[in-house]
Copies of this chain bind each other. A is one copy, B any other.
Amino acid sequence: MENFRIDLPADRMPRKWYNALADMGQMMKPPLNPATGQPIDPSALSAIFPQSLIEQEMTGERWIDIPEPVLDRYMLWRPTPLVRALRLEKHLGTPARIYYKNESVSPAGSHKPNTAVAQAYYNKQAGVKRLSTETGAGQWGSALCYSCAMFGLECLVYMVRVSYEQKPYRKMMMATWGGKVIPSPSDSTNAGRAILAKDPTCSGSLGMAISEAVEVAAGDKSTNYSLGSVLNHVMLHQSIVGLETKEQLKMAGEKPDVLIGCIGGGSNFAGFSFPFLPEKLNGQKIKILAVEPTACPSVTRGKYAYDFGDTAEMTPLLLMYTLGHAFVPPPIHAGGLRYHGMAPMVSALVNNGVIEATARAQKPCFEAAITFARTEGLIPAPETSHAVRVAIDEALECKKTGEKKVIVFNFSGHGLLDLSAYDNYFAGKLLDIECTPEMISKGLAELPKVG
Q: Give A residues with C-beta under 8 Å from B.
A: 1-5, 7, 9-10, 68-69, 71-73, 75-76, 83, 87, 105, 107, 109, 146, 149-150, 168-169, 172-173, 175-178, 370, 373-379, 416-417, 419-420, 422-423, 426
Contact = CB atoms under 8 A, between A and B. Distances in A.
Query: A-B pairs with the 10 shortest C-beta distances?
Result: A172-B419, A107-B377, A169-B419, A172-B423, A149-B374, A1-B72, A176-B422, A416-B416, A1-B68, A176-B373
Contacts of A426: 172, 175
A352 B340 CA distance: 66
Given A172-B420, A419-B176, A149 B107 contact: no
Q: Residue among A2, A71, A416, A417 with the most chain B CB within 10 A?
A: A416
A166 to B, nearest CB: 12
Contacts of A69: 1
Contacts of A376: 76
A68 B4 CA distance: 13
Contacts of A150: 87, 377
Contact of A422 (B175, B374, B375): B175
B374 A178 contact: yes
A85 to B, nearest CB: 11
Contacts of A4: 72, 75-76
A355 to B, nearest CB: 30
Contacts of A73: 377
Given A1-B69, A107-B378, A176-B379, 15 more contacts: A1-B71, A4-B72, A7-B9, A7-B10, A87-B150, A149-B373, A168-B420, A169-B169, A169-B419, A172-B419, A173-B416, A173-B419, A176-B370, A176-B419, A176-B422
Contacts of A176: 370, 373-374, 379, 419, 422
Nearest to A148: B374
A377 B408 CA distance: 29
A427 to B, nearest CB: 10
A373 B10 contact: no
B3 A75 contact: yes
Nearest to A426: B175
Nearest to A15: B1
Contacts of A370: 176
A377 B146 contact: yes
A379 B423 CA distance: 24
A288 B43 CA distance: 59
B149 A377 contact: yes
A172 B423 CA distance: 6
A5 B10 contact: yes
Nearest to A419: B172
A382 to B, nearest CB: 12
A423 B378 contact: no
B169 A420 contact: yes
Contacts of A75: 1, 3-5
A265 B75 CA distance: 33
A175 B423 contact: yes
Contacts of A168: 420, 423
Contacts of A175: 422-423, 426
Nearest to A420: B172
Contacts of A172: 419-420, 422-423, 426
A96 to B, nearest CB: 20
Nearest to A423: B172
A419 B173 CA distance: 7
Nearest to A152: B374
A177 B423 CA distance: 12
A416 B373 contact: no
A13 to B, nearest CB: 10
Contacts of A72: 1-2, 4
A4 B71 CA distance: 12
A371 B46 CA distance: 34
23 contacts: A1-B71, A3-B75, A4-B75, A4-B76, A5-B10, A7-B9, A9-B9, A76-B83, A76-B377, A105-B105, A107-B378, A149-B374, A149-B375, A149-B377, A150-B377, A172-B420, A173-B379, A175-B422, A175-B423, A176-B373, A176-B374, A177-B379, A416-B416
